[in-house]
A and B are shown apart, each in its own frame.
Chain A
Amino acid sequence: MSEPQAQASDDEPTLVEAAPPASPLDGGEAVSPGAIGGHRTWSGPVRLLVLAVALAFVAFGVPGIIDRYWLQIVTSVVIYSIVTLGLGLLIGRAGMVSLCQFLLLAIGAWVALRLDYATSLPFPLLILIAGVVTGLIGALIGLPALRLSGLYLALITLMAAGAITVVLRIAQFPNGGGGFFGNSAAGGASSRLPRPAIATGDTAYYRYCVAVALLMFLLALWHVRGRPGRAWAALRQSQATAVAAGVNVTLYRLWAFALASFMAGVAGALLAAAAGGVNINQFPVQNSILLLAVVLMGGVYSLGGAVVAALLLRLLPALLDNWGVSTELLTILFGVGVLQVLLTAPGGLVDQVPKDLANLGRGLRKLASPRRAGEEAAQP
């Protein structure tokens, strides 16, 4: 004998949550990295080839067709794609949200600058240390994530962002030079990190940034495909199922924060050596929310979404500016965009645009041959 299903659940508290909601901010089950991207039909080698050609064009073709101003813009797109990559991983894979990633960018830049004033470490090592230090700070900020989630976690990280701003102001970031803790008025309002010897020119430095970004994307891919990716997938579904599988929840939660922050730190160090260097006005707290918006719009369930997000964040304002349109428009545009993502297109632009184009193509084909479509419909 078996009892009816409706009675089959004991009225005891269980840690398994039923029917999670579908928005990316809640890490829902209805929408998931696996479900999104499943429509791709390209085979592995073809995709790899297309990606390689695209990458070669980005590294060698793009600098040839744009002037110095746009090269700076594109360089910052590449650098910011590392930040959006980290935040996308945190939201889409680990199912947590942080509103302090933009300020961690400043921390990364700061650490790299201070290390440069104090030591004569080579540039790659500066980036690495800036990343690791920022990663540690990020993990520290992520500690509340062990107890909180959703809105409360977002609030805590936003407060952390505010706190970092206060520290930057008090310390008069980027505060000149002279040793690790030195302060020199000669540095002025903005500081620039000396570039590596192999990449002193703008074009060479652009390629250097592309190479570092590529490494970060590979690091992300390695995480997503590997053991951390599987552990995060379990955590996203429910904490109970992760624990029952032996996943160290504390470790993987903090690791996600550390990884995202490491990437922000690396990007910050790169930014410090970009044209114009860094100054305190570059890092307003509200940009953290802007960052969250573009990451959601780009798409958090695919690594390509990070590139789209960076284009929205850095290229779109420059384009609007160029066309004489007020960049204030962006706030409205991003607001509508985020609403769209949360309501209908959880995979973001990187997932939705190919789908929409395919639908449009089908629609156009049908319009072009209405008779055949009619015949098809007549024969079930």
Chain B
Amino acid sequence: MIEVDGLTVRFGGVVPIDDMTLTLSGGTCGLIGPNGAGKTTFFNVLSGFVKPVAGAVHAFGDDLLAMADYRRARWGLRRTFQTEQAIADLSVFDNVLLVRENTQGGRATPRQDVLDAVAFVGLEPEADRRVGTLGAAQRRLVEVARAVVGSPRVVLLDEPAAGLPDDETEHLGRLIRRIPEEIGASVVLVDHDMSLVSACCETTAVLDFGKLIASGATAEVLRDAHVIRAYLGTEEEV
């Protein structure tokens, strides 16, 4: 449950997020919009990499913006990156352990938690391999394992399926659907793949030029005329 109230971000003359008010309920929420709509900037605000000029973000009642950036991971905020950022020098196991040992709380011992997260994404056979030697799809899975280890509360997925072939995307989609129930975390999914978004997300919000233009049940949102015009593009009738 994330409540965003009047959030505004400004880079000089550019306003990537403009007075955004939005409630992301639990489960899996989609966040879509054309390039430059402010999706990644929104994630960067949540992560603490970008400071908004106005507005507030509360997650489960806690003021997220008041926390130091690295403490947000400790609180339970996890994310993946648009350009995948699994740590190439470390093994799969150490990648996940890094997150577990720098965040609070877990289900079992750190070792067991890490093994569980690696098993969750199905990378057990590669647990001791260096991430730098893995393929793109497996590295994406390492990022997901990092996001679900321990006790995450909110998981932000920034285009996790970018560049993946269809069968890998389907596998990823199945994993994402399991996160709220099995891990107990809310998921916010940004992706351009509409089939992935509609397969994973009960609700979806649409951004365009930093403004929220629609939100609600995914199927309805995708039928919305504004959304189709802004995002999918239609020919104007004369």
Contact = CB atoms under 8 A, between A and B. Distances in A.
B208 to A, nearest CB: 12
B157 to A, nearest CB: 12
A231 B95 CA distance: 10
B47 A244 contact: yes
Contact of B192 (A2, A33, A35, A230): A2
A8 B164 CA distance: 12
A230 B130 CA distance: 13
Contacts of B6: none
A15 B79 CA distance: 14
A188 B89 CA distance: 51
B37 A10 contact: yes
A83 to B, nearest CB: 25
9 contacts: A10-B35, A10-B38, A13-B11, A29-B132, A38-B130, A230-B90, A233-B98, A246-B99, A247-B98
A13 B50 CA distance: 9
Interface stretch (B57-65, B67-75, B180-188, B212-220): B67-75
Contacts of A32: 88-89, 132
Residue of B16, B38, B87 contacting most chain A CB atoms (<10 Å): B87
Contacts of B16: 12
Given A12-B36, A227-B101, A246 B73 contact: yes
Interface string A223-258: 000010011011011101111111111000000000
B85 interface: yes
Interface string A4-15: 010111111111
B70 A241 contact: no
A16 B83 CA distance: 8
Interface size band for A: 35 or more
Nearest to A5: B163
B35 A34 contact: no
Shortest 5 CB-CB distances between A and B: which pairs?
A246-B73, A246-B102, A241-B85, A34-B89, A2-B193
Contact of A237 (B37, B50, B89): B89
A244 B73 contact: yes
Contact of B40 (A3, A10, A231): A10
Contact of B49 (A11, A234, A236, A243): A243
B195 interface: yes
Contacts of A38: 130
Contacts of A9: 35, 82-83
A233 B87 contact: yes
Given A18-B83, A38-B130, A248 B70 contact: yes
B35 A231 contact: no
Contacts of A329: none
Interface size band for B: 35 or more
Given A8-B82, A241-B87, A247-B98, 5 more contacts: A10-B35, A10-B37, A237-B85, A244-B47, A245-B73
Interface string A76-116: 00000000000000000000000000000000000000000
A8 B193 CA distance: 10
A230 B193 CA distance: 33
A244 B87 CA distance: 12
A222 to B, nearest CB: 15
Nearest to A17: B83
B159 interface: yes
A32 B85 CA distance: 15
Contact of A33 (B11, B37, B81, B89): B89
Nearest to B38: A12
A1 interface: yes
B230 to A, nearest CB: 14
Nearest to A239: B49
Nearest to B69: A243
Interface string B100-127: 0111000000000000000000000000
A34 B88 contact: yes
Given A1-B193, A11-B35, A246-B74, A241 B89 contact: no
B78 to A, nearest CB: 7
Contacts of B193: 1-2
Contacts of B39: 10
Interface in B117-145: 130, 132
Contacts of B44: 12, 14-15
Residue of B38, B79, B85, B161 contacting most chain A CB atoms (<10 Å): B85
Contacts of A11: 35-36
A18 B102 CA distance: 25
A237 B88 contact: yes
B148 interface: no
B228 interface: no
B98 A234 contact: yes
Contacts of A29: 88, 132
A259 B78 CA distance: 30
Nearest to B37: A10
Interface in A9-45: 9-16, 18, 29, 32-35, 38
A15 B50 CA distance: 9
Residue of A7, A33, A236, A237 contacting most chain B CB atoms (<10 Å): A237
B54 interface: no
Interface in B144-183: 146, 159, 161-163
B55 interface: no
B70 A247 contact: yes
A375 to B, nearest CB: 33
Contacts of B85: 16, 237-238, 240-241, 244
A29 B133 CA distance: 12
Nearest to A248: B70
B194 interface: yes
Nearest to B98: A230
